Amino acid sequence: LERHFQVPVRLSDEFGVSSDAKEAICFAVFANETISGNPINITSVTGARKRTILGGIYF
């Protein structure tokens, strides 16, 4: 990546975020945004017609 894009690539560990925790952190962010009612899809990436809330909370 560094050679192709000519930018430095750094590990999340260098910023205090364990590489083992990245997935858990992402799911926590997704859950928070779902609970808060915030749409977080990127329509230009997903091809979706509109912004929408990702995920659902079921009891």
pLDDT value of position 46:
85
Report, as an integer, the average pLDDT of 39-47: 89
What is the residue whose two structure tokens read 């779902």? Answer: 34
Q: Yes or no: say if 30 and 40 are a contact pair by the CB < 8 Å rule.
A: yes
pLDDT exceeding 70 applies to what percent of the chain?
100
pLDDT value of position 55:
87
pLDDT value of position 17:
92
- CA separation, residue 20 to residues 23, 33, 37 (Å): 7, 22, 28
3-state SS, residue 31: helix
